[in-house]
Amino acid sequence: MQSIDTGMGLERIGALLQGKHDNYDTDLMRSLIEASAHGTSSDPDGPGKIHHRVIADHLRSTSFLIADGVTPSNEGRGYVLRRIMRRAMRHAHLLGAQDPLMHRLVPALVRQMGTAYPELGRAQSLIEETLKLEETRFKQTLERGLRLLDDELGKIGEGQPLPGEAAFKLYDTYGFPLDLTQDALREKGRTVDVKGFDHAMAEQKAKARAAWAGTGETKDAAIWFDIADRHGPTEFLGYDTETAEGQIVALVAEGKETGAASTGASVQIVVNQTPFYAESGGQVGDTGLIRTDTGMATVTDTKKSAGVFIHMATVSEGEIARGQPAKLEVAHGRRTAIRANHSATHLVHEALRRALGDHVAQRGSLNAEDRLRFDFSHAKALSGGEMATVEAEVNGFIRQNTPVETRIMTPDDARAIGAQALFGEKYGDEVRVVSMGRLSGSGKGADGATYSLELCGGTHVARTGDIGAFVLLGDSASSAGVRRIEALTGQAALDHLRGQDQRLLEVASSLKAQASEVPARVKALLDERKALANEVSQLRRELAMGGGAGQGPETREIAGVKFLPQIVSGVSGKDLPALVDELKARIGSGAVLVVADTGGKAAVAAGVTQDLTARLSAVDIVKAAAEALGGKGGGGRPDLAQAGGADASKAQDAVKAAEAVIGGMK
């Protein structure tokens, strides 16, 4: 019998060769299991044996996914990664791990598998940072979910299963998975109404399906496949020219093919060959003009589907018709700016790798005419020094003004010379390899001398100096483990710098200072402002303490406890803690309540001296006072707590509510 799947995979063969009866007893998995046991100070073969196996197995799978460019998210493969990670992290929690564990196990994995899979070593820092960040967030979710779970259990009778709706709320709103809820309840001898959970899940899916509306893209795609079948894919000429002649092979208006279009009509034009770049790889589509003997169309965007370049246009003069010869002209100024931004993206990618580490990889980009945006794998914000280093390095290679070279080769050959593949790109049998910049002291011809070497299908400048200048605007978070930078090049960069100079001169003029003196002068003003604010706050507290702003009675005694309420105005909420501390010092032992009128609304703070906090909490007092003021909640410590209210006119009601709490203490 041929072609029988025996299930004899590589790991099972490895187990047999090592004389083991279990895949987890092989040297590969055993080292990871022992690392998990060491990290949790537990026995690898004890009661937590299963937990260690899950952690080891999932450590391996998550690390390879991250090294392959997947990042945790709430959809697609990123969601699959997050679930795998969280399952391992839950087992670490069950082993009693108080601090993030998974990232500390990555070195053991790299030692074991890094030689055979060098991408693990290259991405080690990214893997560690991603796992640490995700586990830190998951621990917060876990703690919040367990508190909410206790609240839900308090609403039902002893021994009753947790309602499915409550379990689904924990899952849907707070990210608390069902299996984790079941584990937590199992420790309490409780269960979950799984059928109710499934019903709530089905209801949500039904609502989502009902709310979903298709975009029509699938239907429209059929048109482009049909055009491609009849006329073949569009030939792109735009690497070498911005003008060309072609023949209009199809016109599409309102989702249907048409023979002609007149002035004012919106139409999608397909030509057999075009210099217009179609949006892809982060580079926006070109704009420009298409002229025929009978009319002209203004192209506002260019897209691509089924190999067909689609010129989104409006007929601006006369009439254009299918079958006509046409002259195509790309908007030169816009294309020039886009090219500069795209080439700068390659330089900034390499500069980031050198500044932050080899784990940096592109996770998305936008190369438009007015700016560039670059998303890359990195788990924390860039420091000011790192930003300055990247900006200076990119500008250094721009000034180098070396040629930007393009070669066509196979993907394997491109990878062999170290070319970086860009995120989201699909590559065929041949790829374009774009190189730019030369490392100092290296000969011109060697690939090792190239600064940036990437696979790319976009358009680029002829020399790095054509970029002009590069200004890094800032760094922000794009998603978990992914940062985003935005930047300007060329004239836009110069305009930005000129604008910054103009604003600096305006500030200097207002301060009656030289531009170089502005930082010191601003710091002096801020210090002065802070000192004045502190002085005002102190005067307000003294006024309140002196009774000028107070409307409250003197100290009274309730259930053997001194109580001093104060109703004040002209005091901000942030000043209340200091005022409460001063009042507590005045009475020595007791409780204090301060209600401040902040323009109709109220701020309230309560304090209890340390000798009474075992019996009386400021949190209980402030919550009762806040409710009387039309607010809710409040928090702090047993000795000091704050809250807010909607109606300051009910200050006396707040005092009475506080008295009731003090009077009812045990």
Biggest distance spanned by C-alpha atoms of the chain: 101
- Do the domain assignments include residue 200? no
Task: Please indicate whether residue 46 or residue 393 has the higher confidence score (pLDDT).
Answer: 393
Q: Which helix (H) or strand (E) holds 140?
A: helix 124-153
CATH code at position 449: 3.30.980.10
Q: What is the pLDDT of residues 532-550, one digit of tens each?
A: 888 877 776 666 666 544 4
* Three-state secondary structure string covering 422-490: CCCCCCCCCEEEEEEEECCCCCCCCHHHEEEEEECCCCCCCEHHHHCCEEEEEEEEEECCEEEEEEEEH
- Do the domain assignments include residue 509? no
Q: Domain ends where: 153, 173, 197?
A: 153
Asked whether the beta carbons of 596 and 573 are under 8 A apart, the reply is: yes
Choice among 144-148, 281-285, 310-314, 379-383 with the minimum mean pLDDT: 144-148
Indicate whether 613 and 556 sit together in one domain.
yes
Closest C-alpha among 411, 409, 425 to residue 361: 425
Q: What is the mean pLDDT of residues 507-534?
A: 90
Indicate whether 320 and 371 sit together in one domain.
no
Closest C-alpha among 651, 657, 545 to residue 595: 651
- Do the domain assignments include residue 183? no
Q: Which two tokens stand for residue 80?
A: 């699959």
- Do the domain assignments include residue 2? no
CA distance 406 to 456: 9
Per DSSP, 555 falls in state: -
243-253 and 266-271: which strand pairing?
A: antiparallel
pLDDT, mean over the chain: 85
Residue range of the domain that includes 112: 10-153
Indicate whether 431 and 286 sit together in one domain.
no
Indicate whether 308 and 430 sit together in one domain.
no
Q: Tell whether the torsion through CA atoms of 116, 122, 123 and 125 is positive or negative.
A: positive
Indicate whether 487 and 558 sit together in one domain.
no
Q: What is the pLDDT of residues 454-488, one digit of tens each?
A: 988 899 999 999 999 999 999 998 877 889 999 99
Task: Please indicate whether residue 596 or residue 26 has the higher confidence score (pLDDT).
Answer: 596
Indicate whether 348 and 477 sit together in one domain.
yes
Residue 2, pLDDT score: 65
Q: Domain ends where: 330, 359, 379?
A: 330
Choice among 118-122, 139-143, 364-368, 523-527 with the minimum mean pLDDT: 139-143
- Do the domain assignments include residue 505? no
Q: Which helix (H) or strand (E) holds 366?
A: strand 362-367
Choice among 33-37, 212-216, 307-311, 477-481 with the minimum mean pLDDT: 212-216
325-330 and 243-253: which strand pairing?
A: antiparallel
Question: What pTM does this model have?
Answer: 0.62
Task: Please indicate whether residue 169 or residue 612 has the higher confidence score (pLDDT).
Answer: 612
443, pLDDT greater than 50 = no
Residue 51, pLDDT score: 87
- Do the domain assignments include residue 432? yes
Helix extents (H) in 365-425: 384-400, 411-416
Q: What is the pLDDT of residues 150-169, one digit of tens each?
A: 888 888 878 788 888 888 88
The SS3 of residue 156 is: coil
CATH code at position 302: 2.40.30.130
Residue 3, pLDDT score: 63
Choice among 44-58, 70-84, 276-290 with the minimum mean pLDDT: 70-84
- Do the domain assignments include residue 503? no
499, pLDDT greater than 90 = yes
Q: Domain ends where: 496, 511, 529?
A: 496
Indicate whether 272 and 384 sit together in one domain.
no
Partners of 374 in the beta sheet? 365, 485
The SS3 of residue 317 is: strand
- Do the domain assignments include residue 236? yes
Q: What is the pLDDT of residues 638-663, one digit of tens each?
A: 999 999 888 888 999 999 999 999 98
Q: What is the total count of domains within the chain? A: 4
Q: Which two tokens stand for residue 518?
A: 């502005």
CA distance 162 to 197: 10
Share of the chain above pLDDT 70, in %: 91
Indicate whether 31 and 128 sit together in one domain.
yes
Residue 217, pLDDT score: 47
Count of other CB atoms within 10 angstroms of residue 581: 16
Indicate whether 418 and 299 sit together in one domain.
no
Indicate whether 608 and 465 sit together in one domain.
no
424, pLDDT greater than 80 = no
Q: Which two tokens stand for residue 661?
A: 């709490």
Indicate whether 467 and 598 sit together in one domain.
no
Per DSSP, 279 falls in state: S
Indicate whether 390 and 308 sit together in one domain.
no
